[in-house]
Amino acid sequence: MHPVLAYADRIVKLQAPARDEFLGAFVRQEFAKGSRLLRAGQASQHYHFIEQGLVKSSFYKEDKEFIMNFFKENILFTEVNSYLTSAPSKYQLLALEPTIVHSIARPDIERLCREHHAVETLFKQLLAFASVGMMKRISEMLEENATTRYQLFLRERGPLLQRISLGDLAAYLGITQVSLSRIRAGQ
Amino acid sequence: MHPVLAYADRIVKLQAPARDEFLGAFVRQEFAKGSRLLRAGQASQHYHFIEQGLVKSSFYKEDKEFIMNFFKENILFTEVNSYLTSAPSKYQLLALEPTIVHSIARPDIERLCREHHAVETLFKQLLAFASVGMMKRISEMLEENATTRYQLFLRERGPLLQRISLGDLAAYLGITQVSLSRIRAGQ
DNA sequence: CCGGTCTTTTAACAAATGATAAAAAGCTAC
DNA sequence: GTAGCTTTTTATCATTTGTTAAAAGACCGG
């Protein structure tokens, strides 16, 4: 089964016509390490499914980079603000590894959501998952210091650490790379 | 028109049968200042619409309170993690003012989402709005220091400041009340 | 209008994190 | 294998934020 369908099926079962139209709307693309699925300033008008590889969503503020999230294999996501408003995205999507992506464009999503209730349910669930994850992130940023946030990242997304730089992890945690190095040294 | 419907209509037009069933599922309640719509430890199994008043969503970590959000008139919301998982909520919902709330229970929402595509679209949009707001919050917590976050709050939610304590604002910004007072003093 | 309570400010010191620079370690291409 | 580049660590000092305590101010009920 196509990996996009396997993923979707665990959220909501798509039946025959919706299923085929949904899958048919995806376009496969490969991105080299360092290349961009989305440039900052472009409008995000797709959802992306990562079949293989790793992508970061990040933005710059005066030369400093901050990372909103890492997306690895088996996730269907978008930059939701730009997707909803069609405004230029503050964020870029950059492949941290050679990455195979299946993308579906907004007009197709909107049509499929309109015509197939189950597709709408699927995208509702994606937003629900995103909300839960972001609420957890905000909660941690409020209550935990950088050391604890680093330890939580290790505990919950430990395997990712082998695939990202410590600079990127620091940009995700909201601290400097030097500060993260100090934390790792154990004081 | 009932305020819940007026609110929903600006997101998606509900037609005759869905419209009435939707409205009929809400229960009106009044909460005194200081009383709780949800206690920490209970499962959040409703969406709440605030007709009038103000509610904070907060949690405690070792005596320290942190505030996830403030909800004022004309918003339909829930504590989404507990709502989705049925797990006990880490958060309480507490009325900061005398508050009139219309609540709809999860079984009703699920039934209406199943039977009426438009209701599903409505709740999808609510999740999308929540996601956009939380992504903005995370972004600000990453890139801005406490002084700037305070100024942004003033700029974007200034009127709220008249209705909440500085202690609660500090708990929302993720700093101590003393630190916020120092920021307000201008250094 | 008074006493008590809660909120906010001020102050002094401590701890966490940032900024900068330099050294060390790791990686890659030839 | 080595030169050159990038990443990570280490060190020092500056800035921001936290902690604690006390004083000042605001609010409320009798």
Q: In chain B, where are the structural domains located? A: 3-116
Domain A3-116 fold is: Jelly Rolls (2.60.120)
Q: How does the average pLDDT of chain B come out, rounded?
A: 94
Sheet holding A36-38, edge to edge: A36-38, A92-95, A54-61, A64-72
Q: What was the pLDDT predicted at A187?
A: 65
Q: What was the pLDDT predicted at B186?
A: 83
The answer, as to whether pTM is greater than 0.75, is: yes
A132 CA, D18 C1': Å apart? 29
Contacts of B140 (CB under 8 A, 6+ apart): B148, B149, B152
A130: nearest CB among B131, B136, B141: B131
Quick count: other Cβ atoms within 10 Å of Cβ B182? 14
Q: What was the pLDDT predicted at A63?
A: 84
Q: Which of residues 164-183 of A touch strand D (CB under 7 A)?
A: 165-167, 177-178, 180-182
- One digit per residue, the tens of pLDDT, for chain A of length 187 reads 899 999 999 999 999 898 999 999 999 999 989 899 999 999 999 999 999 999 999 999 988 999 999 999 999 999 999 999 999 999 999 999 999 999 999 999 999 999 999 999 999 999 999 999 999 999 999 999 999 999 999 999 989 999 999 999 999 999 999 999 999 998 6
Q: What was the pLDDT predicted at B47?
A: 97
Whether A166 contacts chain B with CB within 8 A:
no
The CA distance from B24 to A88, in Å, is: 40
Q: What was the pLDDT predicted at A186?
A: 83
Mean pLDDT of B109-134: 96
Cβ(B81)–Cβ(B24) under 8 Å? no
In a mutational test of the A interface, the residue from B61, B124, B141 whose CB has the highest number of chain A CBs within 10 Å is B124
Strands (E) in chain B, as ranges, are 27-31, 36-38, 46-52, 54-61, 64-72, 76-77, 92-95, 99-105
B74 touches strand D (CB under 7 A): no
A145 touches strand D (CB under 7 A): no
Q: What was the pLDDT predicted at B187?
A: 65
pLDDT digits 0-9 by tens, B137-160:
999 999 999 999 999 999 999 899
- Of A119, A120, A130, A161, which is closest to residue A24 (Cα–Cα)? A119
Verify whether the Cβ–Cβ distance B81 to A123 is below 8 Å: no
Whether A132 contacts chain B with CB within 8 A:
yes
Nucleotides of C under 7 A from a protein CB: 7-12, 16-21
Contacts of B55 (CB under 8 A, 6+ apart): B31, B37, B48, B70, B71, B72, B93, B94, B95, B96, B99, B101
Q: What was the pLDDT predicted at B63?
A: 84
Cβ(B136)–Cβ(B169) under 8 Å? no
Chain B residues whose beta carbon lies within 8 Å of the beta carbon of residue A80: 128, 131-132, 135
Q: What was the pLDDT predicted at B1?
A: 84
- Of B83, B8, B7, B98, which is closest to residue B38 (Cα–Cα)? B83
Q: Residue B62 pLDDT > 80, yes or no?
A: yes
Whether A13 contacts chain B with CB within 8 A:
no
Whether A146 contacts chain B with CB within 8 A:
no
